[in-house]
Structure 1
């Protein structure tokens, strides 16, 4: 009998909920429930982090029921203003009272924290409960409280509670009959000393009070796009009108965090309805939305121009006071000091903008803003209207920095005549001096920001420009010199919208740099697609692209002017790459970087289709560190044999290749169709047999290869004979050869030197780092460089233990007039100070040497003066690398004197 009576009483109390819907305050929860308009907000929390992903988040109802079924005794429901906490709690209670959910709970008791603020005196828990739920007699309440494990307490609006929940400031009680203050009773309940075993559901905005409570936290996200769509479709009866409203809402507002608020969705839909009923245009910016809300509220209040200005001025002063004091509300005395006295009537004009807690006639009542979005807008509007202060724009912004998130954005929007005009018809003209002051600040601060490299400041600048909707202003601020390197790093959806607007105003950009974009979702990519299409270069290095984002990138490539795309370290995968290829087949792309993209042989068929399409312009392809294997390379060779393939550079470092695929590669290089000029096979197990096959192609008259990198391919001197034969061939056009980190030894190196001595040998760059070279090899190389027949301009013979004596042959060659060397690398060959005299003499005598690498040798402070003087006097030398030698701290001051020395 008591059980049934309690359910009926809860339902009756819900149906009698006081209050009326307000544009900014939202609908009454019970109206939403009774009108079947309830859409469960989404949530996430510790208990669902691993189970759900962004596209499969639980509803708040599901999260609460799950937490309660897991026997969590305290559940903290946390979310920002208007996110649906109160409605969700009301729905839970109503459903229980109707017998639909949580029937394992015997009794639910519902409380509002702000209603508890005014309760004074000493009470027992039994008396307190009977007072709050008067349908219980003291005897029946005592009986109910004897089984706490069957009870659920629902507390709403913890952020409005004026008492502390810190257990250290209370003497917690455990007896329901013990007399205590209400604040002590509440603290004792929530800390588990009273009614041990009962369950508690506490809702709050993020607040410091939460630190004193432990339990299962459920963070309320509110509405994402699908829920907003359902809400708008339910709000408007006409599907065509609903679709128009939804499209505008998503385009104009959908990228802001506060659009997850069900209350804000209701506010926007209400304004859209009034605008469409009046056959007026829908807003295009957040500023215009807020202007429309303000215009609607002022028209409803029927205030004249002077009173309207006074109201906005008073609201602006209150908004500033709340932001600066980091408070959510103000006392009656405070708001009167702001100029509200004339608006505090029985039907207060302030009600449209403010929420009243308590009795208006009482001095203890508290006023707070329904919406922080409008709180910031009112602050901006009041600043442009109020001439009573001499505070400059810069001073005002600096004062509110860190408190008002959108203040500068609103000021930017309101500084444009077309956006503020509807307000000026009701409030009078904004102060022209203040608008000019803001414009001046906007230009100077933007230009200063874009000269720096802080991406957050860049995006802030773009958001202001987007809000202004002034194309000429964008072009004035973002000059050609400022367009390189902007938009660096991870992006949010709001950043994507602002960045895309800037790009569209400018018409083209040298590059879109999204390095390390941690989560490029479909929505972000869709928003950025026009900007991508306008960019000459797109950098997505170390970014994570969700599969849904790839089609938008592909579409941008096919429609745009992009010539270089860097997807290195993006872990793209075969499936996403297949989607990308739809855009690669018909685009202007010249260079594609796909290093470390988790590609396998399975993607190579699609790649071949792109390269042989007849429309692809791709000439540089980087595929290093992908598991292509011999099967993948064999497929790629089909493209190299096609007359439509324009590939000139192919990088295949660490692609798990072996000699098994070298024959088909060699055949492709000799086909007469391949335009390949540069081939990198570094870190693959090619071996001697693989090099023999490649060497044959180098001798073929139709092979166009000019650069071959075989760094660390497990080669020995056995491969050098075939390479030497290739270099001797009259048809060989190889200009660069890197054989570093292979065990060529003396015999192999001498075979190569013999080939290089052939008149007409084209090789200009040779890499022999860590190839087990000897002093004899250095002697032969020195002779070769002096011979007048060698075309070598770059030589790397690092990491060989030849010391000063071996290097002497190179210094003699460098000094010789026939030597053409421009770059010489002798890192880690055990050079000492004894060689510095010969080294300096050689460099002074050389007319070609520009760069010398002496890293990791045994030079000491004694050599530094001579080397510094050498670099200061030399006109040819551009760089001397002295890192990791045996220098002491005192040498660094001398080295600092020459900026051409790296140390």
Structure 2
């Protein structure tokens, strides 16, 4: 096979270069401007793909063919570079630079093959399409199928399905058949069995009938776009300016990965930059510039230009509603386009001979088709069709139609078109604005994340700050928008920056907050009083932008719990925490082990951090001791510290106790739940509780392995005149009767500050309950909340508390007796206590043994009580019949 003839055949391809059609493949190849698009070796469900899974399209095809894959299917959207890549593949073979294991390579376009009518043999088809091959050579070539590679482009343009069941497949290369039958026979290996194929297509229904190695095209990601722009602009500064602008305004759209779209953008930008004009800020503005440029090149009058666009609108309407997205010559005549046929290829792609009735027309770009639809809708005065009906008609056909309508709603964006075409239909402008306002108002009242995001994109396209403020409020944006695409981030950031301030930015469970997304959201973050990132996954670069946003913004609360932050990434965040307005930080459930960076933050004169939640981190004693040093600093403003299950022991409690007594510590609330500090650790803390400089008001020692042996130290602390503790949780510790009775002595002392006490599952006895009842009736106790659940003392033990609640000196507002062994016997005492009490508001009685018999009395007393707000009766022994009665009282949970 004469490779020079093949090379000449490819390089002499005819065509016309247009802004929307992109640069001709032959021009790209001849001028050495080819950049291989990227593909993914794994299934892509999001644009955020791992760089390790990306390879160039050329390498993907070569690799697949070298592994004896007989069919390689290249799938990608319009303009993604399939045609250029395939032609480059053939050129490289003809130059001896690739695929040299094939002796023969034949390149076909379905776009051209579909016009071949009648029947042909494979030999005749190849002679017809590849006239540079001597006729006598074709039969000899086809005798060596293992050495033959067929390259098919534009499979989506095929007029016939590849379903083998609808064809009578042939096996003889000299047998005549229809072109669709020949192609189906080749691809299903009935004809020329040993041959190999590379097939390029847009996503289409025919793909289900193709078997082989699949290559999904991703096009140009950011690095490829940078290379492309640098090659397009001779001036590096101009290339950089254009690229930065494109990434900021358009780089978040999926179609920005299209080489053809990059060509279009570069062409428009270059023209505008040469004229000293501003670059477009939205997709709508870009297409306004394109349409103005194309029409001006035709030098038409305003009336003719208007009629041209209206005719194009009628064609766009036909193509949009036609599943094949094209129209016939007859339809073109019906749409009054005859007078513009000489310039048809400026706007439309022409397949076939322009003089033939079989010729079909389609838009170079689906985006342009939808933009023309939007323009013609606002331009047309001949129909009264409303916007809602129009959008419903195109639902599922036109993805960007409402987006373009939103862009054209703003006078500044449509002005260049109105200057050229005359004013838009004001009734339709008002109709669309009314629809927009009412639709968005209804959407924001709901909780559909996708609908919210879509309308934010419409607002971002309109570029009207006043419209955003007119339609939405910060309170409407409080729920999570995960998962967030880059486009979602841009739209959400635009809305928030227009509003000026957000009470809460909810980014809960964003599983891939990349650097690019965080960079886009940074302005919104800096305007948010509270940022929620719980259960999200943040890249190192994303944390950098988060730190920067917090350092310059108004954020006072940041929730990073369960994000898996490691020490090195947290160190980056801390650079922004040293000087910011942050008051509350939650890094619970991460992977932090070091206290070095936090110590620097807490001792910074410009830090305002006063609440720190670090639960479920492997902090350990050494790191905690470093944090304790920070509490000695006069700059440390920490008031609340959560250290649940942070692997602390008694070894660090002396340092902590010293910090609490330093006179500098502002700590008011500390949670040490499930740290094994034991009796000796609690003893160390009790020393600080008696110190006049200790300001601690709330201490949680839940499950800290303390016993009754340390209760004497607690008693002494609570009886100290300097103790300021009002809340104490000792639950899930084996205090026993002796230890608990010591505590009761302290609780009954006049002046004991404890108002909230939790003693769940502390091995308490009836004697302890009796003493607690005495404390509550004493008139000296300040207790308002008492939890004694999971202590099995039965009705007789808890009766002491019911009697106390009924006493006029009892101040109790909340009582928890969950799983204490209560039966129906207690109901009379419960009702008497509720009736007599002037303070009780909440009663927790779940997981007991109450039955249906107790329900009427409990319902009645709750309905009659003015004080009681809630009673919890869940998980008792009620039947379905009792639930009907319980439902009559909305203050009872069951």
TM (normalized to structure 2)?
0.96
Which secondary structure does the structure 2 equivalent of 1:301 belong to?
coil
Aligned to 1:519: 512
1:538 aligned counterpart, secondary structure: strand
Trace 1:250-261 onto structure 2 (pairs within 5 A). 250-261=247-258
Structure-2 residue corresponding to 1:638: 629
2:42–2:53: 8 Å Cα contact kept in structure 1? no
After TM superposition, the structure 1 = structure 2 runs for residues 99-498 of structure 1, keeping only pairs within 5 Å, are: 99-137=96-134, 140-343=137-340, 345=341, 347=342, 349-479=343-473, 481-482=475-476, 485=478, 488-498=481-491
Check the 8 A contact 2:533/2:561 in 1, yes or no. yes
Contact 2:459 2:468 in 1 (8 A): yes
Q: 1:716/1:498 Cα in 2 relative to 1: closer, same or farther (>3 Å)?
A: same
- Equivalent of 1:574, from 551, 567, 578? 567
Shifted more, 302-311 versus 321-330: the winner is 321-330
1:201-235 per-position Cα deviation (integer Å, ceiling 9, x unaligned):
11111111111112221111111222212211211
**1:348-396 Cα shifts (integer Å, max 9, x gaps):** x332221111122222222111111111111111111112221112222
| Aligned match for 1:803, one of 783, 794, 819 | 794
| Residue 871 to residue 237, structure 1, CA distance change in 2 (3 Å) | same
Structure 1 position 178, deviation (Å): 4.4
Q: For residues 540-598 of structure 1, what are the alpha-carbon distances to aligned partners after superposition, in whole Å with 9 as ceiling and x for unaligned?
A: 11111111111111111111111001111111211211111110000000000101221
Deviations 1:254-281 (A, max 9, x none): 1111111110111111112222233322
Structure 1 unaligned residues grouped into runs of 5+: none
CA distance in 1, matches of 2:45, 2:865: 63
Question: Per the alignment, do residues 258 and 719 of structure 1 end up closer, same or farther by CA in structure 2, a change over 3 Å counting?
Answer: same
Task: Name the CA shift for 1:338/1:802 in 2 (closer, same or farther; >3 Å).
Answer: farther
Match status 1:18 vs 2:14: yes
Per-residue CA deviations over 1:33-54 (Å, capped at 9, x if unaligned) read 1111111111113399999824
Q: Match for residue 8 of structure 1?
A: 4
User: In 2 relative to 1, CA 800–194 (structure 1 residues): closer, same or farther, beyond 3 Å?
Assistant: farther
Q: Deviations over 1:402-430 (max 9, x none)?
A: 33222222112111111111001111100
Residue 65 (structure 1) aligns with: 62
Quote the residue 2:74 is aligned against: 77
Using the alignment, how far apart are the partners of 1:141 and 1:180 within structure 2? 17
Partner residue of 1:620? 611
Residue deviations 1:101-130, cap 9 Å, x none?
222222222111222223344444344334
Question: What's the Cα RMSD here?
Answer: 2.1
In the alignment of these two chains, the number of paired residues is 893
Partner of 1:545: 538
Mapped pair 1:87 → 2:80:
no
Tell me how far apart the structure 2 counterparts of residues 783 and 444 of structure 1 sit (CA, whole Å): 64
Match of 1:900 in 2: 891
Kindly indicate whether the alpha-carbon contact (under 8 Å) linking 1:458 and 1:486 is maintained by their aligned counterparts in 2. Answer: no
Match of 2:703 in 1: 712
Matched, 1:556 2:553: no
Residues 622-644 of structure 1, C-alpha deviations (whole Å, 9 max, x = no match) = 11111111122121111112111
Within the alignment, does 1:598 sit opposite 2:591 as a pair? Answer: yes
Is structure 2 residue 29 aligned with structure 1 residue 33?
A: yes
Sort the Cα spacing of 1:399 and 1:865 in 2 relative to 1 into closer, same or farther, 3 A.
Answer: farther
Q: Measure, in 2, the Cα distance between the counterparts of 1:641 and 1:887.
A: 55
1:852-891 superposed matches below 5 A: 852-891=843-882
Q: Whole-Å Cα distance in 1 between the matches of residues 222 and 754 of structure 2?
A: 61
Question: Cα distance, 1:56 vs. partner?
Answer: 6.7
Contact 1:45–1:217, Cα closer than 8 Å, also in 2:
no
CA offset at residue 90 of structure 1?
0.9
Shift of 1:401: 2.8
In structure 2, distance between residues paired with 1:868 and 1:207: 65
TM-superposed deviation, 1:725: 2.4
Q: C-alpha distance in 1, partners of 2:645/2:174?
A: 77
Q: Does 1:747 align with 2:738?
A: yes
Map 1:655-670 onto structure 2 (within 5 A): 655-670=646-661
TM (normalized to structure 1)?
0.95
- After superposition, the Cα gap between the structure-2 partners of 1:77 and 1:651, relative to the gap in structure 1 and judged at 3 Å, is same
Distance 1:852 1:327 in 2: 68
Distance 1:725 1:22, change over 3 A: same
Please give the secondary structure, in 1, of the residue aligned with 2:451: helix
Q: How far off its partner does 1:245 sit?
A: 1.8
Match of 2:522 among 507, 523, 529: 529
C-alpha distance in 1 between matches for 2:400 and 2:480: 20
Paired residue secondary structure (1:509): coil
Is 1:450–1:486's contact at 8 Å kept on the other side of the alignment? no
- Cα distance in 2, alignment partners of residues 809 and 768 from structure 1: 16
1:737-763 per-residue CA deviation (whole Å, 9 max, x = no partner) reads 112122223233222222212221111
Structure 1 residues 859-868 or 368-377, which shifts more?
Answer: 859-868
User: Partners of 1:52 and 1:499 in 2: how far apart?
Assistant: 22
1:852 aligned counterpart, secondary structure: strand
Deviates more, 1:249-258 or 1:857-866: 857-866
Structure 1 distance, partners of 2:153, 2:260, is 17
Q: 1:45 to 1:321 in 2, by over 3 A?
A: farther
2:639 is aligned to 648
Paired with 1:336 and 1:518, the residues of 2 have a C-alpha distance of: 53
Runs of 4+ in structure 1 displaced over 6 angstroms?
A: 47-52
Contact 1:46 1:217 in 2 (8 A): no
Aligned in 2, Cα 1:535/1:480: closer, same or farther, shift over 3 Å?
closer
Rate the CA distance shift 1:698–1:457 in 2: closer, same or farther, 3 A: same
